[in-house]
Structure 1
Amino acid sequence: MYLKHFRLTEPPYSLTPNTEFFFGLAPHVEALQVLQTTLQTGEGFIKVTGEVGTGKTLICRKLINELPERYYCAYLPNPYLSPDELRWAVAMELGLKHSSSIGQQQLSGLIQQQLMALSAYGHSIILVLDEAQALPDDSLEALRLFTNLETESRKLLQVVLFAQPELDERLALNKFRQLRQRITFSYRLRPLTLEESTAYIQHRLKVAGSEGSALFTPTNAKRLAKAAHGVPRLLNILCHKALLVCFGEGRTQVTKQHVDAAVADTDDALPVRNTVLRWSLGVALLTSMSLAALYWVKGGVV
C-alpha cells in the first residue's frame, strides 16, 4: 500500500516468515548453531521452544533451506494429527506411495524400509515439526516410537521439534519421561534486547530497499522496541501500523504520534492508554486506503 510513497521494493514488515529478511540476531544464530551441531551427532530429539512470535518458524525454514545435500528432510508444519495421521504424513514426506487400505503395522514396516533405503544411499533423515505443542499425547508417544528405528550403529531418524513453551510443561509430566530422556539438546529462544530490536527494525527496512534518511529515528525505533517487549512479530505489526499512519498523513518520516497510535491499536503491545490515538489510527487507515485507491485509478503502483 505504501511502498511507492516510502520508495520501498517490498513490504518490510510482513508477518510471513521470509528467510531473505533473516538477521543474525544472537538468539536466532545460537539456536541454528545448536541445531546444526546436534544434527551431526545423528542421535535423538532436538527441541527449540519460544514464545509466540519469537521467530521459531523463521529459524525452522532457515535450517531446512541450509541443510547439506546428504540430509533428507521430512517437514510437518501442522502436526495436530492423530497417531495414524502422523504415520501417514511421515510416509508421504518420505516419498512412499501406498494404498490407503493397508494397516498401521504394515505402514510402519514400509516407513522403516524407506528409512533404511534412504540411509543406504548415504542420507541422514530428519523429521522437522513446527508448532509441535499441538501434537496430541498419543501422537507424542507415536513420535517417540519412530526413534526406535535404527541399525546396529545409528538411528534411522532424528526429530526436530519447534514449539511454544506449553510443550515443555507437558513433557515435564511423568508419563512423558521416556520421550523427555530422548531429547538430547534443547534451546529456549529469549526475547530480543532493546539494541537487537532497533537493529532489527533498520535491517528489515534496508532489505526492503529503503535508502537515504531513516524512516524511524533512533528514538522512535526504541519506542517501538520497548512496546514490542522483544517479540519480533509484534515489532513487525507495530512498524507496519506506524508506517500506515505516516503514509495516511502524507509524511515521509515516522513521528512519536505515529508510534503511539500504532501501540495503542495493538493489544499485546505495552499499552498507551489513549482512545484518541486508537481513533487516529482508524482515520489514518481509511486515508491510506483512499490514497491507495487513488493511485490505482491513476494506474500507479503504491
Structure 2
Amino acid sequence: MYLDHWQLAAKPFEPSADGLFYYPSESHMGATLKLRYAMENHRAAAVLAGPSGVGKTLLVQQLLGQLPGGEQPVVQVVYPQMPSRELLAYLAARLTSAEETPQVTPSIDQSLLRIEHYLTAAAERGERPMVVIDEAHLLEDAGTLECVRLLQNLQREGTPLLSLLLVGQSSLLSTLSRTPRLEERIDITALVDPLSAEETHSYVQHRLGAAGATHELFTSAAVDTLHQLAHGVVRRINRLGDLALLLGYAGGATVVDTPLVQSVASELAFARAA
C-alpha cells in the first residue's frame, strides 16, 4: 500500500526468513556460532533461549539452512504443549514420513520403538536427524520434559542417535534447572538478547536498504524513539516501523520523525487497552 510513496521495492519490516533481510546482531552471531558447533560436532542437545520477539525462530531457520545435508532430516515441533503420547506419535510420524495418521494414537512404547528403529537405520546411513522443539518453555506445563529426556536415551554405542535443539523464552533456563536429569545432557546453551541502541540503528538501516530505500526514511531521533519504545525487541521494532510507514503515507509525510513514531505507539497502546 505504501511502497510507491516511500519508493520501496518491498516492505522492510515484514517477518521474513529471506537472507537478504536477516540482520545478525552480536548476540545472534554468537548464538549461531555455538549452535553450529553443537550440530556439526554431533552434540546431543543444545538450548537457544531469549525473550519473546528477539528473533530466535528466524535464527534457527538461518542456522538450518547453513547445516550440511548429513544433518537432515529435521523435524520441527512448533506446538510442544501436547501430552507425551501425542508428542512421541507426532515425532514418529514426521521422522518416518508417514502419509497416513493412525486412527488410534500409538502408545509411548510403540512410538519410541518406531523412532528407535528409524534412527538406527539412519545412523547406519551416516545420518544424524535433528529434532527442533520451539516454544520449549511450555514443555514443563505440558508434563513432557521426561518425554524429551527419553529421546536422549536412544543411543548407539553410547552416542545419541539424534541431535536435539530446544528453543524457548528465558524461562526455559529455569525450567531446565528444575530438571537436572535433562539439564545435564545439554551440551551448549546460547542466548539471544534485545538489540542495543546502536544495533537498532543498524537494523533499521539494513532493513530499509534491503527493501530498496535510496534515501533516509527515518530520522536518527525517530530510530532512537523506536529503540526506546520497543526496548530493542525486534518484533516490536518491526511493528512500530511498519505502522509508522503506513501512517506516514496516509498523512503525506516525506520522512518518519519522532512525533510520528510516538503517535503510532500511542495508537497501539490504545488498541491494547481497548
TM-score by length of 2: 0.91
1:83 aligns with 2:84: yes
The AA in structure 1 aligned to 2:6 is F
The corresponding residue for 2:207 is 204
The corresponding residue for 2:39 is 39
Q: How far apart are 1:198 and its partner, in Å?
A: 0.8
The corresponding residue for 2:153 is 148
1:3-38, Cα deviation, whole Å (9 max, x unpaired): 111111221112455444111211111111110001
The AA in structure 1 aligned to 2:201 is T
Is contact 1:17-1:57 (8 Å) kept? no
Distance of 1:226 and 1:17 partners within structure 2: 25
Distance of 1:27 and 1:47 partners within structure 2: 14
Matched residue SS, 1:195: helix
Runs (5+) with no aligned partner, structure 2? none
Matched residue SS, 1:127: strand
| Equivalent residue in structure 1 for 2:117, among 113, 116, 121 | 113
Larger-Rg structure:
1
The AA in structure 2 aligned to 1:262 is V
Distance of 2:87 and 2:213 partners within structure 1: 44
Distance of 1:78 and 1:124 partners within structure 2: 23
How many positions carry a matched residue from both structures? Answer: 266
Distance of 2:20 and 2:90 partners within structure 1: 28
Q: How far apart are 1:2 and its partner, in Å?
A: 0.6
Distance of 2:39 and 2:156 partners within structure 1: 17
1:149-184, Cα deviation, whole Å (9 max, x unpaired): 1111521011101101222222222xx110111111
Bigger relative CO (Cα 8 Å, ≥ 6 apart): 2
Structure 1 vs Structure 2 CA RMSD:
1.9
Q: How far apart are 1:96 and its partner, in Å?
A: 4.3
Alignment of 1:12-161 (within 5 A): 12-15=12-15, 18-72=18-72, 73-97=74-98, 99-101=102-104, 102-135=106-139, 136-161=141-166
Distance of 2:240 and 2:157 partners within structure 1: 53
1:168 aligns with 2:170: no
Matched residue SS, 2:48: strand
The AA in structure 1 aligned to 2:7 is R
Is contact 1:44-1:159 (8 Å) kept? yes
Evaluate the alpha carbon distance shift between residue 20 and residue 129 of structure 1 in structure 2; reply closer, same or farther with a 3 A threshold. farther
Is contact 1:191-1:230 (8 Å) kept? yes
1:268-288, Cα deviation, whole Å (9 max, x unpaired): xxxxxxxxxx79xxxxxxxxx
Instruction: Report the more deviating stretch, 163-172 or 69-78.
Output: 163-172
Q: How far apart are 1:259 and its partner, in Å?
A: 1.5
The AA in structure 1 aligned to 2:200 is S
Matched residue SS, 1:54: coil
Q: How far apart are 1:42 and its partner, in Å?
A: 1.7
| Equivalent residue in structure 1 for 2:190, among 187, 192, 197 | 187
Runs (5+) with no aligned partner, structure 1? 268-277, 280-302
1:215-273, Cα deviation, whole Å (9 max, x unpaired): 01222212212221111111111111211221111122112221221222344xxxxxx
Q: How far apart are 1:41 and its partner, in Å?
A: 2.7
Percentage of pairs with the same residue: 30
